[in-house]
Chain A
Amino acid sequence: MKPFRFKQLVSVAKDEWRYWFRSKLALSVLVIGLVLTLSSVVVTASNMMELSHDRHALQNSAEETFLDQPDRHPHRMVHYGHYAFRVPSPLSVLDPGVDAYTGNSIFLEGHRQNSAMFADQRQGTALTKLGNLSPAFIVQVLAPLLLILIGYSAMSRERESDTLNFILSQGTSIFTLIGGKLLALFSIIALILLPLSMSGILAIAQGESVIATLGFLLGYLLYLVAWALLVLLCSTLFSKNSESFTALAFVWILLCVVMPRVASTTAATAVPSASKLETDFAVIAQLRKLGDGHNASDPAFNQLKASLLAQYNVDTVEELPINFRGAVASASEAELTGVLNEFAEQGMSKELSQTQVARQFGWLSPMVAVRSLSMITAGTSIETHHRFLRETESLRFDFVQALNKVHVEQLSYADDMNRNSSADAAQRARVDAKNWKILEDFNFEVDSASDRLQRSLLAYWQIILWLAGLLICIRWAGRRLS
């Protein structure tokens, strides 16, 4: 019985294909869809690769300029600072995600946590407010429309022209018929996903994990299958082509156009997040209590002074074998960083919970689900950006403290205190440029595949629930017909 049914499925699908070839509409929609997908894949891939290349080069040149600095007072280098660039993940060729919306470079200096600068959107034309040419957008929003335009009449057509009863009376079950039409739509899905898979292979060649790429593509596959089922469900439910079409267009507007924005608006109002500026004020108020690390005579450092004097068993800071100013700079940097990190973590967790509220809308719209799934598995979601911020912060802290260590150990307190008295004294208050080698290479890499897949589990469940719900509905609608 089984192989026979499969043959029937294929023959139904073949009939559907033949119908599409005869209908100009279906064919032109298909061609337009494929051209769009293909061009989005090519354009985005070349853009992201150029960005990736640029940022690698900028990172290297930032490191070189730091190392090339002349002999200086070590604290000058703390303020000279360093740059870190976020190199986009390999899968960003398919979904650039938040890349254009967060700054991609960050200036690292002592005593401050700067935000990322130069978001590409701000040099933009505002023309891509409704949509952009990324494969992610095309497949998430336009591909379902394509499936609707091609498939809305798959079942309703047979009912409208009264061929359904004929087909059913010939021994083809209603589910074989629906299955065959699904198979036909599936071939379209495969066509749409083909350029994406090629880009995926390219990403793998650039070091992306195979599992993450497969997970990414699987997400889109499930998503489009859900849409194919939705199309067939509406087409089975309504007896008229026009009704089926109107219903599908309406559902598409709700799920793909309205819902994602309702999700982000709701999230932003449900979890109001304090701006960085506001937390900056709180940070400053805290820092005033900690004392200014530039001023070693700030009473806030009396305790540090007492403990150092006791440790080395001397009476004055001048007698200490280490540079007290450096010790103060180092201690205050550590305390300050503690405060900064505390506030930064608060801000990030607020932002994350905001995002998670928006992601819950995936239960209501598979488009929201696949959107988060796509960004998370591609490593272009907010989590990856947060990790970038954390890693740059530890890079910042390490190089500042390494410079402070040089300050403590390689510059005498007397020379340091006299640095402003004359040009000679200023020269003496410098350390050798070879000390700048403390800078570590910074290579930002995307989160591990298992981390990303774990994060996207929720979205997978959301899509799977949609699939299950749709299958149940189709079963019910099919039974009603037969």
Chain B
Amino acid sequence: MSKVISHLSREWRFMLSQKYILVLLACTLIVSGFSVVSGIQEIAQQNQTIERLKIADALDRKEAQEKHSDPGSIAYYSFHLTYQAPSELAFAALGERDIYPWKHRIRMLALEGQIYESDAQNAELAQAGKIDFVFVLSALSPLIIILLFHDLVASERTSGRHDLLVTTANSAAALWGSRIIVRFVAFLVCLLLPFCIGAWFSEAAIGNVLEISLWSILYLVFWTVLSVLWGRKAKSAPRVASGLIGIWVLLAFIIPILGDLAIKESVHSPKGGDIVLTQREAVNGAWDLPKETTMDAFVATHPEWKDYVSMESMFEWKWYYAFQQVGDQKAASLSNEYRDAAQQKYDLAGFVSWLSPPMLLQRKLTRVAETDAIAAFEYEQQIREFHKQLRLFYYPFLFPPVEFDKTALEAMPSFERLVQIDGTDQNANVLASSQKSQLSNQ
């Protein structure tokens, strides 16, 4: 036991004497710290934005409800905020939140005309990508590991100490093993310490933090083992490192890029523009169609209102909202195909990522942090669900000739409530529920 400790303390002192290793470790700590701090800031900004939007949204709807008195106009002029709050771990994996929208405002008009609106962040910054912990971990840390471990043997060879070391040390395993362990642990601490502090600060669930840490360690061990093995027999350190960096380029860039090309070629998706065009033609064409055509198509999916479709004036709100819904129905199959294609691409990318550890890690961590495309698809599904609730809430005031009392608005569905119910029902298979609601939309 004391032998192990003496080995380790010797290697620790040796490491402290090597300036370039200290520089690498310091840089790791700084970059990792920067990514965590900026991630926390970014998430704080997102949360503040949501809070501001919630206040503005409530005020806006209140004003709309005060200004108008009939349910049709109130529905037309009230917008509803929907949003996807970042999870506690989102600071570490900002994921796709700069590409997919996480806030949306919808009203009771045809949803297909609204849902593709994007309130994206600065495109030029999104194109460069942000630095978050997942990036530091998946892309940067392999490079640092390569620099730390590639010349383990070769550097001793070139400095002529190799043979001396090997003959004087009790066993090669003890010599190289303790050197590897000391460097690895020092690196691990520099990399993960900022993340753990950030997770503690964000009050992330301990299970998730452990899961991320475990994946991180596995990933780092993979690169360490690769670097050490690759450099075992080598005489020239730069050659080892060139090879390792080549592997890194292959795994981080080339394989994902080729996979992306192959997937784009193989999965065919309807053009997004066709969905909105179909919806627009349907909605605008309805003004020139006989009212019965629209009402028949509407009643086909909403039979409960079949006794209330006759019209006394050339314009009635129930007809207006009916043709909005019919517009969505006409675009539904295209829209489903579009979403299925996106899902399919994401699933196929999962297979490709098995060939690319950096991508695999990114997918794992963004999944745990709920910032990946799946989370974005779920959010879109929640918006669709909420829009449906909203329609079903207003129809009873629009179709039967009832007196409308504004106090009824208090029972209006709220997106927050929907998300809460959704959250307690998390075990339900999201895919199954989305398919179900797609069927009911048709």
Contacts and interface: CB of A to CB of B under 8 A. Distances in A.
Contacts of B126: 98, 101, 121, 264
A269 B45 contact: yes
Interface in A280-320: 280-281, 284-285, 288
Contact of B273 (A118, A131, A250): A118
B276 A117 contact: yes
B257 A261 contact: no
B146 to A, nearest CB: 8
Contacts of B314: 419-423, 425-426
B313 A240 contact: no
Max count, chain A CB within 10 A of own CB: residue among B34, B103, B123, B276: B123
A326 B53 CA distance: 34
B31 interface: yes
A421 B315 CA distance: 9
Interface in A251-274: 253-254, 257-258, 260-269, 272-273
A115 B261 CA distance: 28
A276 B125 contact: no
A381 B124 contact: yes
B288 A72 contact: yes
Contacts of A129: 129, 256, 359, 362
A25 B239 contact: yes
A214 interface: no
Nearest to B315: A420
Nearest to A149: B242
A411 to B, nearest CB: 15
B238 A153 contact: yes
B63 A132 contact: no
Interface stretch (B112-120, B175-183, B403-411, B413-421): B112-120
Interface string B249-282: 1001110110111011000010111001100110
Given A76-B284, A125-B349, A278-B53, A117 B272 contact: yes
Interface stretch (B197-205, B328-336, B340-348): B340-348
Nearest to A368: B128
A165 interface: no
Contacts of A439: none
Interface string B107-142: 000000100111111111111111100010011100
Interface residues of B, number: 106
B358 interface: yes
A442 interface: no
B24 interface: yes
B257 A127 contact: yes
B213 interface: no
B345 A124 contact: yes
Max count, chain A CB within 10 A of own CB: residue among B104, B147, B238, B280: B238
Nearest to A372: B124
Contacts of A281: 53, 56-57, 60
Given A105-B273, A268-B121, A280-B105, A29 B242 contact: yes
Interface stretch (A77-85, A191-199, A225-233): A77-85
Nearest to B38: A265
Contact of B52 (A72, A152, A278): A278
A471 interface: no
Interface stretch (A1-9, A216-224, A241-249, A398-406): A241-249
Contacts of A43: 261
Interface string A83-102: 10000000000000110111
23 contacts: A32-B246, A58-B273, A81-B280, A83-B273, A100-B127, A103-B118, A118-B116, A123-B342, A126-B96, A127-B356, A153-B238, A242-B151, A249-B143, A253-B143, A254-B27, A261-B130, A265-B131, A273-B122, A281-B53, A285-B60, A351-B122, A354-B122, A422-B314
Given A249-B146, A275-B53, 12 more contacts: A25-B242, A36-B254, A107-B280, A117-B116, A118-B271, A126-B96, A130-B135, A246-B20, A250-B147, A275-B121, A277-B119, A375-B124
Interface of B: 20, 23-24, 27, 31, 34-35, 38, 41-42, 45, 49, 52-53, 56-57, 60, 63, 67, 79, 81, 96, 99-100, 103-105, 113, 116-131, 135, 138-140, 143-144, 146-147, 151, 154-155, 158, 236-239, 241-242, 245-246, 249, 252-254, 256-257, 259-261, 263-264, 269, 271-273, 276-277, 280-281, 284, 287-288, 313-315, 338, 341-342, 345-346, 348-349, 352-353, 356, 358-359, 362-363, 372-373, 376
